[in-house]
Amino acid sequence: MVSEYTDGRTEKSSEMTSVECQNLIEDLQKVLDKQQRQTYNNKNALRKTVFSLCYKLDWITETMSNKEKIEVINNWITEKTKFKKTDLNALNIDELNTLIRQLKGVLNNYGYFDKKTSVVNC
């Protein structure tokens, strides 16, 4: 990678000029920013699924404030999951996927969730 930014002059980062280093850092930051945005978007989509499932369970309603909705979800996470975290926004992608599976299980246990179509039957 160093060789690319020094036009083959060196392969050692210690021999890079400040301009070459800055160009490398800027390009790496762009890659990191893109990855962070993608992770944020993926986590946001999963959190929306959590909200959707909680609406279907009638745990949260449109008349509740966002703070109240988050409180209901966070309380359930604290009381009914194995996570050491107590905040929906603190969960990573794997934990969010696990939470979604658990919520779908709750829907299934109450006879609302159709496994074949993944549609809630009300």
pLDDT digits (tens, 9 = 90+) for 79-105: 888 887 889 999 999 999 999 999 999
Distance CA 2, CA 9 (A): 9
Q: Which residues pair with 120 in a beta bridge?
A: 113
Q: Which tens digits make up the pLDDT trace of 9-45?
A: 888 889 999 998 998 898 888 888 888 889 999 999 9
Whether the per-residue pLDDT at 120 is higher than 80: the answer is no
Contact 5, 20 (CB under 8 A): yes
Alpha helices (runs of H) in 10-117, residue ranges in sequence order: 18-56, 66-80, 93-109
Helix, strand, or coil (residue 120): strand
The reported pLDDT for the residue numbered 101 is 94
Cα separation, 68 vs 34, whole angstroms: 32
What confidence category does residue 119 fall into, taking pLDDT thresholds of 50, 70 and 90?
A: very low
Residues in the chain: 122
Tokens, residue 12: 């050692």
Q: Band the pLDDT of 122: cuts 50, 70, 90.
A: very low
Could you say which DSSP state residue 89 is in? G
3-state SS, residue 119: strand
Which residues are CB-contacts of 13 (< 8 A; sequence separation ≥ 6)? 2, 21
State which residues form the domain around 110.
2-120
Q: Is 104 or 121 the better-scoring residue by pLDDT?
A: 104
Count of structural domains within the chain: 1
